[in-house]
């Protein structure tokens, strides 16, 4: 026996330990994989030994290999063995390996439950500590359920070291096993007043995290936290508490008012000290700095918001203070500070756009920064800072950036942002849609972008919904179709050739505005078109048919019946190319239309008037449909979705039988309803509903009655006023930057308006001179006074009747924090209650048949 | 905090700590992406990145990049401070720590991290207490073998 041991230990002397392994790997840089696979074989041998020390060594090496990227899940059982060793060293190694590689799918986790429980009740605090640390990484719902009570008792352990860890791990346990929150909460609350600062901050941490997600349950703790905030000097804790208040203030208005004082003090005191420190020690971590700025700004802005809505006026001073300090941050040369300043500004922007707008110059400067993150933040800010006045200017600057942007990702980002900025809130800020279309066309000149579809969808959107602009849009699109460069551009999906999709569709749908439909038709059917992606070709073919209808209408009836026949001939010549296309959709459409045209040609040869019938093919307006419309379709009465349609299938029947589609009969009715044009009454009703909503919304910036009237009374295309601008803007010269012209036009138009207004005001003042003593300053031109260049009738999206646009359906049903949303006020922390809760838990567990917990309690 | 990664300038992972349970291939994919992104940053750029729905906070110390991924709501400067605190702890423990120390004693680096951060939150903000806990645990490890020797010698009457 002794000989065996000696022999064994000699063998073991040649085992590699961790250091050897690492050194070995470093020395074998060329054939690393081979070396490692030999090592793994050796490790497998070692794991078969009985000696726990050897196993632990092997597991340690495995952990290292796991870090390098090798899978060690096959050794899970051995890891559990090592975890169960009584020696601290090995136990530690075991838990480390477990925390690195165990996850919910690991089968052997259930074997660890009892082991962990033993360790949790071990007299050695480091054993417990190691178990808690390891557990936090791989806790599963089962483990959480089984061990929740043990951990709860540990929260009242004598050693603060253990208490701290137990408190922190409870958060993870709550996430996995929400039912443990109720019994644990009173104890957690006690820990907030624990004498040991470590435990206290741990408790603050946990409650802050919980409260962030479900703030209303933790409102009752607000006074306690307030006390902590004013008395604590630990920066970390303070930051957490302030963040917590940020989440609570929206729910409790009085809290906001109370907080203003201490928070402003904090800003004043901390910022001065730490800015000085930052300038002195370059590398210092600016923790004291962050304390007021990022969190507080949000908090204060929340608070001010609440107090504003409840009628207290004087807190704009605190917002001004915040914005000032943020400006200092942004102007600092340290990139991190800049970034944070911009971040905080964008948060304030949401609630107080006016105070931020005065810093527009600084933000635009940040756009020039070399650091991409800062540029992106500045872009985000701009998004919130646009107004009708400065939209054109800002977009002009952004276009300059697009031109000189280096990489395509940044350029793409810019493009997305430009479009986002312009299209926000239903194009609220665009006063001149012609300008917007010209911007979109300029954007198509970008090469190598991946957002072609975005531009395309914008063009479509604008053309459909802004009736007044269709003429201009169609002209531009015809130009695009003609231009060769888009066809030779890259053909990948979402490339810039997507724009042709939009162009073709717009030309086809609104072909009545085209000057020369023949020309466009010809351009659509060029052979080069066959090299475009399939979906674009399909659109081309379909719209060629629509154009054909328009051409027929134009030429028939006129003396020029030959032109009509020529068109048919053209189509018959060119379409066969598409019929042979590899794409099914293109093939189908092309062959349908080809047949149709052949038939029409026959009729034409007999001199029959076909134009009317052909245009009837494409009659009816297609209106935009709201995105949630499908969900809001009401279930028709008398329809029970849960009732069986057929007899329930017996076991022997095949599973391929599909039940009869419930909506098969209903669908045609619904789709037809959607195509009927929205009539006046419906529009008026919807407008009323919208106005109501806006009136009730305190944050909606109301426009003045004059511009609102403009939107309402414009019944459509017939009432477009003559635009009084005499400049001859050459619209058909490709390659010329047209958007500049619009900027100048806009400026002149506004100046004219201002001059007119002043004349009117002066007349008014002469009349009222006797009444008023003071001279009424016309003041800065407010946003609402700018009337748009064209009267715009934006078609609203369609929804099924009586449906309201709402956002309820977006929440994630699997969110663990939803399960933690329980009312905790009922649980008053008193000793009897705690005991009562624990017994209740035990009885509950017993009912569920969970014997392990009850056994623990009976011990 | 969701995870913390330490990697060298060549992209070699020196330490990875995950505070959310994920499967191995997912972890690998995420590490690769994050490492690529951070290595592509130039020196003067700010330490914060946005990636998917998380924020990446990183800092470079000598040849090692320390990188943490935190949730959107989390405070970035606190995370920087956590990274700095961790580096200070390593420094105190190893005495002028360098990358080799972390390579050869990676399990000690993990132990130190575990004493400082638990479940993604900072456990203990006082450096002294963390270091003391680690020292005591170390002593416990050393005491073990001595006991074993004593027991062994007692048995064989050496």
Share of residues in chain A with pLDDT > 70 (%): 69
Higher pLDDT, A753 or A281: A753
Contacts (Cβ under 8 Å, ≥6 apart) of A829: A186, A187, A189, A190
A87 vs A809, higher pLDDT:
A87
- Which residues of B fall within a CB distance of 8 Å from A271? none
Q: What is the pLDDT of residue A46?
A: 87
Any CB–CB contact under 8 A between B141 and chain A?
yes
Phi and psi angles of residue A310, each rounded to the nearest 5 degrees, phi first: -95, 5
Query: Per-residue pLDDT for A678 more than 80?
Result: no
Residues of A in contact with B73 (CB under 8 A): 212, 243
B54 touches chain A (CB under 8 A): no
pLDDT value of position B35: 92
Using one digit for the tens of pLDDT, what is the confidence trace for B130-158? 888 888 888 887 765 554 455 455 555 54
CB B27 within 8 A of CB A319: no
What is the structure's pLDDT at B125? 80
What is the pLDDT confidence band of residue A343, given thresholds at 50, 70 and 90?
A: confident
Q: Does B107 touch chain A (CB under 8 A)?
A: yes
Number of A/B CB contacts below 8 angstroms equals: 155
d(CA A93, CA A349): 50
> What does the pLDDT look like over A77-104, one tens digit per residue?
889 988 888 888 888 889 998 888 888 7
Chain A residues touching residue B125 (CB < 8 angstroms) = 198, 201, 234, 236
**Do the Cβ atoms of B81 and A287 come within 8 Å?**
yes
User: A31, exposed or middle or buried, with CB in 10 Å at 0-12, 13-18, 19+?
Assistant: exposed
The two three-digit tokens of residue A762, written as one number: 């002066």
Residue B49: per-residue pLDDT: 85
Per-window interface: B 64-103 vs A, CB < 8 A? 73, 75-78, 80-81, 84, 103
pLDDT score at A11: 58
- Residues A395, A417: Cα–Cα separation, whole Å: 10
Cβ neighbours of A209 in B, within 8 Å: 121
- A103 with B21: Cβ contact below 8 A: yes
Given a contact cutoff of 8 angstroms between Cβ atoms, the answer to whether A294 and A235 are in contact is no
Helix (H) or strand (E) holding A834, with range, is helix A831-847
CA separation for the pair B67, B58 (Å, rounded): 4
Give the range among A192-206, A311-325, A610-624, A795-809 with minimum mean pLDDT.
A795-809
Q: What is the mean pLDDT of residues B26-52?
A: 87
Q: Where are the domains of chain B?
A: 3-156
Interface test with A, best of B60, B118, B156 (most A CBs within 10 A): B118
How close, in Å, is residue A302 to chain B by CA atoms? 15
Model confidence at B69, pLDDT cuts 50, 70, 90, reads very high
Q: Which of A19, A69, A93 sits opposite B104 (nearest CB)?
A: A19
| Residue A127 exposed, middle or buried by CB count within 10 Å (0-12, 13-18, 19+) | buried
Inter-chain CB proximity A172 and B119 less than 8 Å: yes
Pick from A339, A342, A331: nearest CA to A275: A331
CB contact B123 to A (< 8 Å): yes
Contact A61, A16 (CB under 8 A): yes
Among B41, B13, B40, B43, smallest CA distance to B28 is for B13
**What span, in angstroms and rounded, lies between the C-alpha atoms of A235 and B108?**
28
**Residue A394 CB coordination number (10 Å):** 23
Joined tokens for residue A417: 């942002």
Q: Could you tell me the sign of the dihedral formed by the alpha carbons of A260, A262, A264, A266, in that order?
A: negative
- pLDDT over 50 (residue A668): no
A 10 A CB-CB count for A632 gives 16
Contact in structure between A392 and A742 (CB atoms under 8 Å): yes
pLDDT one-digit tens code per residue, A471-489: 888 888 888 787 766 655 5
> For residue B120, which of B13, B26, B22, B20 has the smallest C-alpha distance?
B20
Q: What is the mean pLDDT of residues A532-557?
A: 80
Residue of B nearest to A198 (CA): B124
Confidence of residue A349 (pLDDT cuts 50, 70, 90): confident
Q: Provide the H-helix boundaries in A495-581.
A: 498-509, 517-524, 534-555, 561-579
Nearest to A373 among B24, B49, B103 (CB): B49
Three-state secondary structure string covering A675-690: HCCCCHHHHHHHHHHH
Please determine, for the modelled complex, whether the ipTM score is greater than 0.95.
no
Determine the distance in angstroms separating the CA of A833 from the nearest CA of chain B, rounded to an integer. Answer: 29
Mean pLDDT of chain A: 72
Of A103, A286, A374, the CB nearest to B46: A374
- CATH code for residues B3-156: 3.30.450.60
Out of A133, A236, A373, the one facing B125 most closely (by C-beta) is A236
Best probe of the B interface among A99, A204, A214, by most B CBs < 10 A, is: A99
Contacts of B115 in chain A (CB under 8 A): 129, 133
In chain B, which residues have their Cβ closer than 8 Å to the Cβ of A817? Answer: none
The model carries a pTM of: 0.66
Helix (H, G, I), strand (E, B) or coil at A307: helix
What residues of chain B lie within 8 A of the CB of A132, using their CB? 118
């Amino acid at each position: 026996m002794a000989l065996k041991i000696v022999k064994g230990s000699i063998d073991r002397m040649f085992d590699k330990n961790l250091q050897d392994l690492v050194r070995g790997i470093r020395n074998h840089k060329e054939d690393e994989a081979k070396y490692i696979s030999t090592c793994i074989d050796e490790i497998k041998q070692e794991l078969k030994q009985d000696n726990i020390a050897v196993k632990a060594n092997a597991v340690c090496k495995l952990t290292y290999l796991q870090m390098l990227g090798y899978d060690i899940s096959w050794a899970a059982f051995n890891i559990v063995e090592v975890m169960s060793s009584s020696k601290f060293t090995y136990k530690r190694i075991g838990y480390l390996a477990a925390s690195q590689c165990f996850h919910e799918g690991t089968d052997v986790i259930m074997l660890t439950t009892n082991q962990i429980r033993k360790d949790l009740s071990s007299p050695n605090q480091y054993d417990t500590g190691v178990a808690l640390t390891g557990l936090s990484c791989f806790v599963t719902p089962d483990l959480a359920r089984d061990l929740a009570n043990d951990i709860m008792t540990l929260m009242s352990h004598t050693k603060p070291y253990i208490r701290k860890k137990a408190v922190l791990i409870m958060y993870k346990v709550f996430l996995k096993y929400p039912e443990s929150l109720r019994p644990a909460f009173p104890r957690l609350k006690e820990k907030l007043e624990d004498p040991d600062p470590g435990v206290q901050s741990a408790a603050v941490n946990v409650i802050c995290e919980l409260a962030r997600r479900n703030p209303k349950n933790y409102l009752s703790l607000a006074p306690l936290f307030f006390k902590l905030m004013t008395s604590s000097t630990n920066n970390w804790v303070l930051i957490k508490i302030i963040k917590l208040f940020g989440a609570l203030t929206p729910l409790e208005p009085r809290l906001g008012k109370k907080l203003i004082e201490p928070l402003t003090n904090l800003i004043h005191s901390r910022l001065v000290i730490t800015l000085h420190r930052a300038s002195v020690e370059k590398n210092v971590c600016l923790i004291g700095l962050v304390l007021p700025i990022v969190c507080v700004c949000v908090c204060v802005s929340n608070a001010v918001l609440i107090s504003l809505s409840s009628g207290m006026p004087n807190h704009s001073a605190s917002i001004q203070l915040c914005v000032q300090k943020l400006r200092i941050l942004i102007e600092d040369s340290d990139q991190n500070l800049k970034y944070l300043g911009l971040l905080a500004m964008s948060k304030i922007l949401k609630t107080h756009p006016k105070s931020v707008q005065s810093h527009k110059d600084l933000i635009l400067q940040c756009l020039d920064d070399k650091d991409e993150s800062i540029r992106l933040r500045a872009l985000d800010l701009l998004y919130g800072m646009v107004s009708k006045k400065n939209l054109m200017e800002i977009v002009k600057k952004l276009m300059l950036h697009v031109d000189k942007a280096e990489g395509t990702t940044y350029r793409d980002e810019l493009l997305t942002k430009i479009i986002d900025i312009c299209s926000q809130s239903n194009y609220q800020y665009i006063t001149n849609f012609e300008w917007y279309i010209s911007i979109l066309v300029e954007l198509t000149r970008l090469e190598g972008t991946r957002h072609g579809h975005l531009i395309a969808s914008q063009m479509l959107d604008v053309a459909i919904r802004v009736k007044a602009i269709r003429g201009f849009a169609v002209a531009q699109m015809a130009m695009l179709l003609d231009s060769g460069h888009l066809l030779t551009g890259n053909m990948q999906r979402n490339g810039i050739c997507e724009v042709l999709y939009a162009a073709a569709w717009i030309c086809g749908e609104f072909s009545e505005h085209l000057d020369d439909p023949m020309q466009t038709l010809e351009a659509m059917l060029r052979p080069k078109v066959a090299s475009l992606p399939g979906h674009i070709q399909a659109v081309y073919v379909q719209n060629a048919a629509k154009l054909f209808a328009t051409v027929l209408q134009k030429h028939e009836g006129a003396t020029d019946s030959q032109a009509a026949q020529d068109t048919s001939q053209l189509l018959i010549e060119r379409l066969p190319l598409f019929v042979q296309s590899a794409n099914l959709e293109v093939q189908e459409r092309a062959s349908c239309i080809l047949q149709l045209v052949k038939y029409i040609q026959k009729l034409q040869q007999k001199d029959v008037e076909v134009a009317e019938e052909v245009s009837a093919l494409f009659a009816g307006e297609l209106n935009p449909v709201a995105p949630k419309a499908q969900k809001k379709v009401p279930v028709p009465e008398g329809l029970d979705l849960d009732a069986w349609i057929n007899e329930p299938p017996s076991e022997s029947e095949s599973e391929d039988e599909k039940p009869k589609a419930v909506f098969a009969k209903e669908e045609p009715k619904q789709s037809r309803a959607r195509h009927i044009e929205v009539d006046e009454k419906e529009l008026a009703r919807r407008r009323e509903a919208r106005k109501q909503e806006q009136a009730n919304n305190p944050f909606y910036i109301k426009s003045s009655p004059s511009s609102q009237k403009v939107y309402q009374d414009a019944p459509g295309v017939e009432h477009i006023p003559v635009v009084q601008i005499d400049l001859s803007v050459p619209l058909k010269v490709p390659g010329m930057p047209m958007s500049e012209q619009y900027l100048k036009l806009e400026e002149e138009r506004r100046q004219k308006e201002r001059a007119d207004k002043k004349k009117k005001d002066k007349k008014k003042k002469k009349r009222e001179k006797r009444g008023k003593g003071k001279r009424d300053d016309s003041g800065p031109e407010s946003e609402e006074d700018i009337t748009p260049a064209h009267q715009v009738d934006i078609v609203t999206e369609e929804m099924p009747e009586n449906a309201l646009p709402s956002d309820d359906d977006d929440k994630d049903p699997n969110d663990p924090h939803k399960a933690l949303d329980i009312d905790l006020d009922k649980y008053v922390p008193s000793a009897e209650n705690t005991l009562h809760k624990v017994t209740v838990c035990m009885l509950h567990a017993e009912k569920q048949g969970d014997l392990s917990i009850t056994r623990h309690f009976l011990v | 905090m969701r995870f913390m990664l330490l990697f060298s300038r060549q992209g070699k992972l020196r330490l990875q700590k995950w505070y959310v349970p994920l499967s191995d291939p997912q972890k690998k994919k995420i590490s690769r992406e994050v490492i690529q992104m951070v290595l592509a940053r130039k020196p003067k750029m700010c330490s914060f990145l946005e990636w998917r729905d998380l924020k990446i906070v990183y800092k470079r110390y000598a040849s090692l990049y320390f990188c943490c991924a935190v949730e959107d709501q989390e405070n970035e400067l606190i995370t920087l401070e956590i990274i700095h605190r961790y580096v200070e702890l390593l420094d105190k423990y190893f005495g002028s720590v360098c990358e080799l120390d972390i390579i050869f004693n990676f399990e000690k680096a993990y132990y130190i991290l575990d004493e400082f951060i638990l479940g993604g939150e900072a456990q203990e903000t006082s450096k002294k207490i963390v270091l003391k806990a680690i020292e005591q645990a170390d002593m416990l490890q050393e005491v073990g073998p001595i006991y074993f020797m004593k027991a062994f010698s007692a048995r064989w009457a050496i």
